[in-house]
Structure 1
Amino acid sequence: MILIVDDRPENLISLSKVLQAHNFEVDTASSGEEALKKVLKNNYVLIILDVQMPEMDGFEVAEAISGFSKAKDTAIIFLSAVNTELKFITKGYLSGGLDYITKPVDINVLLLKIKTFYRIYDQSRKLNEVQEKLLEEIEFRKQAEHKKDEFISIASHELKTPLTSVKGYIQLLQRSINKDDKVTAQNHLNKASIQLEKLNDLIVDLLDISKIESGKLKFNMQSFCADNMVNNAIEMLQQNFPDFKITKLGKTEEMVFGDEIRLEQVVINFITNAIKYAPGTNQVNVTINIKDGKLYLAVKDFGIGIDTEQQQKIFEKFYRVEESSNRFNGLGIGLYICSEIIKRHGGTIGVNSVLNEGSEFYFIIPITEENMIAIEN
């Protein structure tokens, strides 16, 4: 929009009509004070400013406008019928004007100048947009680099912890063997096996995320019994965590099309997290049902919970809940891998949680190949 500032109504009317006839949007002000008020409220591409005005002349108006951050990209053209000497033209440029035109005005020349300023404004706007996008990209890459460095540090620590434990238990095992203490030796062997299993789980997660990044995570899609898959996962984890009561709610005999091993991986991750992040409790509920051609599975715990803001990020790569990262081990990639597995099944994954009351992680997937393909398309 163009703002025309002139204390003579006839000048405002005539110039406005000409510009509007050439499809320019026009606003007017009959004094410097009125112009400043409008500049504070509105955005203008160009201000055509008369020099000779009572109380506040065009130079003073331009100097005041130059101090407004809102109008820093606004071009100013001075118009003058009286002050045509070089010193006034120089003053106009020093006051912040980009051009100084003397009256009588050649309207064709003025229109060309206005069109040029509009092009410059449009190019400047596009350049600013590109610059902002570049800055956003740079910020994203700095954050990504920081996350990667943080992940490498965490991964190194997490891998080193069970490895150090295994070394320690092997040394104790050797001493027990030398003393012919079979009971103690068996105990050390069992503990070493647990740490080796932790190490194996970490390595599997690292391999999975590497395959996801390279697009090489393979899926063996076929029909299977979801109920049996969940029962197997619960049975295995119940043996590993005998102090926890893992209760299955619901049952289904329908077959599901998908990768049974990968989906079991998701269920196991949900249940182990439910146990891990619920210290002081002993109950986990696993719900399964099929409705409207979709499998619904949820794992509910009664632990520390997750606040609303963190729930939006929990499935992001390398994300770890800040309040929990110092208390609980983990690489921050398990739920990300789960989300990628569910996406490959054309499903959705989510969490419902109340801080200090518990969390319920769930996924929903179509049970037939036809529905899965329809969703992907």
Structure 2
Amino acid sequence: MILIVDDSPENIISLKKVLEKNDFEVDTASSGEEALKKILKKSYVLIILDVQMPGMDGFEVAEAISGYSKAKETAIIFLSAATADVTLITRGYSSGGLDYISKPVDMNILLLKVKTFYRIYEQSRALNEMQITLRQEIEFRKEAERKKDEFISIASHELKTPMTSIKGYIQLLERSLDKNDKETIRTRLHKVQNQIEKLNLLIADLLDISKIESGKLKFNKQYFSFDETLDHIIEIMQQSNPQVKIVKNGCLSREVFGDEMRIEQVIINFITNAIKYGPDGEEIHISSEVRDQEIHFSVRDFGIGMSEEHQHKVFEKFYRIEETSERFQGLGIGLYICQEIIDRHNGKIGVKSTAGKGSEFYFNLPLSPEKEAIKILS
């Protein structure tokens, strides 16, 4: 938009008519004071400013505008009949004017100058937008590089931990073999097996994240018994973690359409996290039911919980809660993979939690319309 500032109504009318005829949007002010009020409220690309006005003259208006951050980049063209006065012209440029046009105004010259300023403005705006986009891209890539380095560091540490444990237990096993201590051998073999399983899960997560990034995470969907799968998981998890009481609530008597192995992966992740972040000896509640043509599954613990801020971010890739990262192992990708799996089943995943009172992770899966159709027809 262009602002014309002139105390002469005739000048305003003639300039406005010519500019609007050439498709420019125009606003007007009949005094310096009125112009300043408008500049505070609106943004202008160009101000055509009469020098000789009663009250505030054009130079005073220009100097006042230079103090407004909103109008610092606005171009100013001065209009004056006193073109012979070099002092006036010099003052005009020093007060912020970019050009000078003498009265009576040659409309062709005025239009040429206005179009030039508009072209410069459009180019400057495009350049600024490019700079902002480039800055954002650079910041994203810096940030991405930082996350990558952090992830490599965490992954290296997390992989070394079970490997170090396995090496230590094998050395102890060698000593136990020499003593023929079968009970100790059995105990240490069990510990080795647990560490190998941890290592296997870490490697599986790394492979899954790679497949997700490359779009190659495959799903083999078919009908399976959700309840049978869940019972099998609970049995294994209870045997591996006898210190925790796993309580199952509800029962699904119907089959589910999905990738059984991937759904099992999500359930194991939920239970593993509940055991990890819940206090020893406490219960873990596992619930499953049908709600509004959806399967609702949840795992609730009574452990450390998390704040609302962490609840919004916990499914992000590589996200780890800083306060617990030193106490609990993990790559920060397990829940991200779970979200990808549930999303690919057209489901919903989420968490409800209160700091200090535990967390409840859940997912909803839609019942298959194909299965419902088969039931109706039969």
Q: How far did 1:297 drift?
A: 1.2
| 1:95 alignment counterpart | 95
Percent identity, aligned pairs only, is 67
CA change 1:370–1:39 in 2 (3 A) is farther
Residue type of the alignment partner of 2:122: D
Larger mean Cα displacement after TM superposition, 344-353 or 330-339: 344-353
CA offsets 1:139-165 (integer angstroms, 9 cap, x no match): 111111111100110111111111111
8 Å Cα contact 1:51/1:83 also seen in 2? no
Say which SS state the counterpart of residue 359 (structure 2) adopts.
strand
Task: Work out the CA distance in 1 between the residues paired with 2:300 and 2:307.
Answer: 16
1:70-109 correspondence runs (5 A): 70-109=70-109
1:1-377 correspondence runs (5 A): 1-280=1-280, 282-368=282-368
Task: Work out the CA distance in 1 between the residues paired with 2:116 and 2:331.
Answer: 57
CA offsets 1:306-337 (integer angstroms, 9 cap, x no match): 21122121111111112221221100010011
8 Å Cα contact 2:2/2:26 also seen in 1? yes
Larger mean Cα displacement after TM superposition, 339-348 or 146-155: 339-348
Task: Work out the CA distance in 2 between the residues paired with 1:130 and 1:269.
Answer: 43
Residue type of the alignment partner of 1:316: E
Larger mean Cα displacement after TM superposition, 115-124 or 70-79: 115-124
Task: Work out the CA distance in 2 between the residues paired with 1:37 and 1:289.
Answer: 64
Task: Work out the CA distance in 2 between the residues paired with 1:355 and 1:364.
Answer: 24
8 Å Cα contact 1:281/1:302 also seen in 2? no
Task: Work out the CA distance in 2 between the residues paired with 1:161 and 1:224.
Answer: 36
Residue type of the alignment partner of 1:314: V
Residue type of the alignment partner of 2:258: G
Say which SS state the counterpart of residue 312 (structure 1) adopts.
helix
Residue type of the alignment partner of 2:235: E
Task: Work out the CA distance in 2 between the residues paired with 1:298 and 1:131.
Answer: 47
Q: How far did 1:281 drift?
A: 5.5
Residue type of the alignment partner of 2:305: G
8 Å Cα contact 1:6/1:29 also seen in 2? yes
RMSD: 2.1
Q: How far did 1:241 drift?
A: 1.3
Residue type of the alignment partner of 1:266: V
Residue type of the alignment partner of 2:318: F
Q: How far did 1:246 drift?
A: 1.5
Unaligned runs of 5+ in 2: 372-378
Q: How far did 1:267 drift?
A: 0.4
Task: Work out the CA distance in 1 between the residues paired with 2:248 and 2:120.
Answer: 67
Larger mean Cα displacement after TM superposition, 328-337 or 246-255: 246-255
8 Å Cα contact 1:347/1:366 also seen in 2? yes
Q: How far did 1:367 drift?
A: 3.0
Unaligned runs of 5+ in 1: 372-377
Q: How far did 1:56 drift?
A: 3.5
